[in-house]
Structure 1
Amino acid sequence: MQRPNPVQRASSDQPWQTRVAWGLGSLVGFLFFWEVLALLIQHRHFPTPTTVFAAMWREAETGALIYHISKTLFRVAVAFVVAMLIGSAIGIVMGRNGRVDQAFDSWLVLFLNLPALVVIILCYVWFGRTELAAIIAVAVNKIPNVAVTVREGARALSRDLAEMAHMYRFGAWKTLRHVTLPQLAPFFLASARTGLSLVWKIVLVVELLGRSDGVGFQLGTYFQMFDVSMILAYALAFIIVVQLIEFGILQPIAARVNRWRR
């Protein structure tokens, strides 16, 4: 039997300092390559990283950057919570009830394949270019993804644990809290992380088409001016915020949820 090489460890087994060092090193290398390439090309539509970060700093000093990012994050948070609640409820019901699953599976497939742009346009036509329409458009695009993931988790629930809870008369609330939700937690987390990456992108399109503020609106404005420096400044600032949420919130939650697997 071949012994595993201790040098070739999975990245998840490495110390976080090592992972951070590798990540920062690759990022610095990319920025250096970008800087050199931009200096060689010398075109206003391909600015250097220093030019982009200078533009980002100017927007932050005026307060515009913080304002528009906060408006986008508000829409993301509201749409995300609504979609998670509705999608999780649908997924649990479909996963635990075969007849409901058979009746509405085709509906789920339909909404999964419905283009996000169509949903956004229809919401603006039906509800007007309002904040409510924007949030509904984002939530509707995410709900099917959550429902599909949670449905698979509901199908995989242990019957033995359910029978044990019934035998010891846990009751509905205690069974939900101590038996059902812990088993569904990894599926909730998976749907949250994959769905959140989808929500970020859809919100920008929603703001581009029908809002007067937010990162998507700013991207559309500077696109009309062909100001690539400002486009990249807002894009990078938004990416930084998303990464901070990923590493500061989602990954610690994922580590806690999956702690029982170790």
Structure 2
Amino acid sequence: MSVKTDVNEIFEVKEKKAIKVNSEWKKVKGFALGLIIPAVLLIIWEVAVRFSLLDAYVFPAPTTIVQKIIELANEGTLWGHVGVTFYRVAVGFLAGMVAAVVIGSVVGYFKWFEQLMDPLIQAFRSIPSLAWVPLFILWMGIGEASKVMLIAVGVFFPIYLNIVSGIQGVDRKLIEVGKIHHFTALQTVRRIIFPASLPSFLVGLRSGVGLGWMFVVASELMGASQGLGYLLVVGQNTYSPELIIASIILFALLGKATDFLLKTLEARALKWQDNLQNQF
């Protein structure tokens, strides 16, 4: 009996290792697959500039842009600009997320509160982001507070909408099951509403962080002296397209990195779901 148990344990360990290796291989394969199109585009871009199919002054070659990034890094200014921009996005994202979670949860759970608050929130959502800039400058000056507030406003709405949609989309039959088992209101929220609305909430986080990187550009046009948005302005004023494109690429890389982190969090948090994503 013990021999059979040992054999079964060995097979289970081997099976777990095989599954883990297969999972890691799929991740590497997916990462490599995602690099194909960017690599092809960069090669075409480089060749087009080298053979004068594109004006090098208007569209600098990728190698020139990489050299510019390395130059900024060697000067020691790059990390300061990246750090300031990342700090603004992080603080604005956290502020907008907290406000969206609190208000969105109440609006989604209580019908009367939705009727009270949602029309006003939807009206504010229709206001273009740049329309807030002069008002925030007037209220808070051109310091960090106005920049963070603008990012928080941009982050708030997608997270709010997804939370409200997620809570209101919970299957009513699940709520009835909770009542049958005599769940309290807290137990219903913790064991039914929260898990059921979690996918929508995580999608809202990814949308929010994406808008956070967009809004930080507008915020850094408000008299900033540091940040990647500031580098865009410097590149425009000094007629340096390589600096402008380098800043845009850095925005793209940072945005992709934060989205990857949230996507990884989403995959781990929703591992229990039996869906198409977890099947392959």
Q: With structure 1 as the length reference, what TM-score do the two structures score?
A: 0.86
Aligned match of 2:109 in 80, 96, 119?
96
8 Å Cα contact 1:52/1:232 also seen in 2: yes
Name the CA distance, whole Å, in 1 between partners of 2:122 and 2:254: 32
Taking a change above 3 Å as real, the CA distance of residues 144 and 245 of structure 1, as seen in their structure-2 partners, is closer
Aligned: 1:76 with 2:89? yes
Q: Does the 8 Å contact 1:72/1:215 carry over to 2?
A: yes
Instruction: For 1:173 and 1:82, locate their aligned partners in 2 and report how far apart those are by CA, in whole Å.
Output: 25
Question: Following TM superposition, by how much is the alpha carbon of 1:236 offset from its aligned partner in structure 2, in angstroms?
Answer: 1.2
Q: CA deviation at 1:257?
A: 2.7
Q: Give the counterpart letter for 2:194 in structure 1.
A: L
Normalising by the residue count of structure 2, what TM-score does the alignment of the two structures yield?
0.81
Distance 2:68 2:207 in 1: 31
| Contact 1:112 1:144 (8 Å CA) reproduced | yes
Q: How does 1:52-67 map to 2 (within 5 A)?
A: 52-67=65-80
Is 1:240 the equivalent of 2:253? yes
User: Aligned equivalents of 2:155 and 2:259: distance in 1?
Assistant: 18
Aligned to 2:270: 258
Task: Supply the distance in 2 between the matched residues of 1:116 and 1:145 (Cα, whole angstroms).
Answer: 13
* Deviation for aligned residue 1:82: 1.1
Q: 1:182 to 1:106 in 2, by over 3 A?
A: same
- How far apart are 1:169 and its partner, in Å? 5.9
Aligned counterparts of 2:55 and 2:166: Cα–Cα separation in 1: 53
1:230 Cα deviation from its structure 2 partner: 1.1
Larger Rg: 2
Q: 52, 57, 63: which one pairs with 1:50?
A: 63
Deviation at 1:162, TM superposition (A): 4.1
Which sections of structure 1, spanning at least 5 residues, go unmatched?
1-13
Look up the match of 1:9.
Answer: none
Task: Output the amino acid matched with 2:265.
Answer: I
Deviates more, 1:145-154 or 1:192-201: 145-154
Structure 2, unpaired ranges of 5+: 1-24, 275-280
The 2-side partners of 1:117 and 1:25 are apart by 36
Q: CA deviation at 1:106?
A: 1.8
1:175, CA displacement in angstroms? 4.3
CA 182–140 in structure 1, closer or farther in 2 if over 3 Å, else same? same
Number of residue equivalences: 248
- 1:165 shift after superposition: 4.6
Say whether the 8 Å CA contact 2:147–2:222 is kept in structure 1. Answer: no
Aligned mates of 1:182, 1:148 — CA distance in 2: 17
Structure 1 residue 69: Cα displacement = 0.8
Q: Which runs of 4+ in 1 moved over 6 A?
A: none
Give the alignment partner of residue 29 of structure 2, picking from 2, 12, 18: 18
Partners of 2:256 and 2:223 lie apart in 1 by: 26
Higher relative CO (Cα under 8 Å, sequence separation at least 6) belongs to 1
| CA deviation after TM superposition for structure 1 residue 241, in Å | 2.3
Shift in Å, 1:23: 1.9
**Distance in 2 between residues matched to 1:178 and 1:59, nearest whole Å:** 50
Percent same amino acid at aligned positions?
28
- 1:155 matched to 2:168: yes
Q: Is residue 217 of structure 1 aligned with residue 230 of structure 2?
A: yes
Mapped to 2, the partners of 1:243 and 1:143 lie a distance apart of 20
CA distance in 1, matches of 2:64, 2:231: 18
Looking at structure 1, the residues matched to 223 and 116 of structure 2 have their Cα atoms a distance apart, in angstroms, of 35
Amino acid at match of 1:68: H
User: Match for residue 231 of structure 1?
Assistant: 244
Offset, 1:103: 2.2
AA aligned opposite 1:115 = P
Give me the CA root mean square deviation: 2.0
Alpha-carbon contact 1:120-1:138 (below 8 Å) kept:
no
- Aligned to 1:261, what secondary structure does the other structure show? coil
Cα deviation digits, residues 155-208 of structure 1 (max 9, x gap)? 123444445556656555554433332222112101101111111011111112
